Amino acid sequence: MSSVLDKNILKFQKALNEQQYYEAHQLMRTIVNRHVKACEYDKAVDLLYSSSKSLLEIKQFASGGDLALYMIKVYDTMKLRPDGPSKARIIDLLRLFCPDEPTRKRLIHDSLMWSGKYGDTAIGDPELHHEVGKILAYESSFFSAEKHLILGTADSFGLFLSLLRGYFDRDTLDMACFYTSRAVFPYLMIYNIACALRAYNTMARHIADRRSTSTLVLSSSSADIILFPSLPLMNFLCFLILTCQRASADLFCTLKAHYEDALKQASSWKPSLDKIASIYFNIHTGPPPNNTWATLMNQLFGNDILSSNTNNTSSSRTSQQLPFNTHETLHETVD
């Protein structure tokens, strides 16, 4: 069997050298199918990883991506739990794709589904989310990156907030609340109040350090909170987080009433605020919710924000350096 395998691998390499990429791809699938039928899964994985990498390195993205997807399918057949080597193979292959290759998007999806199925986190392995977020951030795909960084590791938080600060630095002061909300709302919707508060404090300190604006510091035994007399929506975000900590519906209603006029300037926050009201205060403004984790994740990350705003008209304040299509996009929260 070993000699036959060696001959087939040589045939695969020969086909690559002769630029017969389709033949090489089909040959490798045939070889791997035999190993899978024989339940020789480790050999199948090794072959799929190495052959996929060889094809991706010569920019045969569709063929290489197909073999990478087959590798994830074998992971699933093996009921393999996510570990260092299994995740490293995926990350290594993802880094070889060109950004617009459709197969990459499916590989990301299937990898997260596999890791959620057999790992400790149903919404996908945090390390995979982190690495995917890093790749997308490097490509300036901010909206796609943030969805993964929010669900990533402790290191993801730092990268995510670094991106937010960088984009805010190119914009006007009154946009601070909208950049901050991009972290606060998603963290609240995945029940991560600690990161929501940390995100607010990180952005608040950055704003206070970089911009000429008055601040008010509220000190407590646990932390100092920075408020902004001239930025009511920033203050609203801060008090929203503290209200979620207390899970008080009365406080939430009072908070919204107090900031009613300011919130008119952020009408696109309403869907996120409605979800937060349902999650923390049992206040429902729409149809009865389906309280499943999958539904929450779909609400959080089900829509492509960037695509949904492609047809918006541009505003004069939109920076050409920002990765957003329109100024209005900044007002959007994760749907």
What confidence category does residue 221 fall into, taking pLDDT thresholds of 50, 70 and 90? low
**For range 116-136, the mean pLDDT:** 96
φ, ψ for residue 217 (rounded to 5)?
-105, 125
What confidence category does residue 295 fall into, taking pLDDT thresholds of 50, 70 and 90? low
* pLDDT one-digit tens code per residue, 1-45: 566 667 888 999 999 999 999 999 999 999 999 999 999 999 999
Beta carbons within 10 angstroms of residue 40's beta carbon = 15
* pLDDT one-digit tens code per residue, 156-174: 999 999 999 999 999 999 9
- Adjacent-strand bridge partners of 224: 219
State residue 271's pLDDT score.
Answer: 95
Residue partners of 37: CB distance under 8 A and separation at least 6? none
HEC string of 31-54? HHHHHHHCCCHHHHHHHHHHHHHH
Location of structure tokens 């009408």: 267
**For range 133-160, the mean pLDDT:** 95
Side chain identity at 150, as an amino acid letter?
I
The rounded mean pLDDT for the chain is 86
CATH code for the domain defined by 174-305+324-331: 1.25.40.10
CA distance 79 to 120: 13
**For range 126-151, the mean pLDDT:** 95
CATH fold match for the domains 2-120 and 174-305+324-331: yes
The domain ranges of the chain are 2-120, 174-305+324-331
**For range 265-290, the mean pLDDT:** 87
Q: Taking each helix axis as running N to C, give the angle between helix 232-246 and helix 249-258, from 0 to 180 degrees, rounded to the nearest 10.
A: 170
311 or 157: which leads in pLDDT: 157
Are 64 and 96 a contacting pair, CB within 8 Å? yes
State residue 308's pLDDT score.
Answer: 33
Looking at 1.25.40.10, 1.20.58.220, 3.30.360.10, 1.10.150.120, the CATH number of the domain 2-120 comes to 1.25.40.10
Question: H-helix or E-strand containing 226?
Answer: strand 224-227
Percent of residues, the chain, with pLDDT higher than 70? 83
CA distance from start to end of the chain: 53
State residue 291's pLDDT score.
Answer: 52
Residue partners of 123: CB distance under 8 A and separation at least 6? 112, 116, 151, 293, 297
What confidence category does residue 290 fall into, taking pLDDT thresholds of 50, 70 and 90? low
Q: Taking each helix axis as running N to C, give the angle between helix 176-189 and helix 293-301, from 0 to 180 degrees, rounded to the nearest 10.
A: 160
Q: Tell me, what DSSP letter sits at residue 265?
A: G
State residue 323's pLDDT score.
Answer: 32
Q: Kindly tell me the number of DSSP H helices and DSSP E strands found in the chain.
A: 17, 2
* pLDDT one-digit tens code per residue, 56-83: 999 999 999 999 999 999 999 999 999 9
Return the half-sphere exposure (C-beta side, CA atoms, 13 A cut-off) of residue 29.
15
What confidence category does residue 328 fall into, taking pLDDT thresholds of 50, 70 and 90? very low
Are 266 and 331 a contacting pair, CB within 8 Å? yes
Q: Tell me, what DSSP letter sits at residue 192?
A: -
Beta carbons within 10 angstroms of residue 234's beta carbon = 26
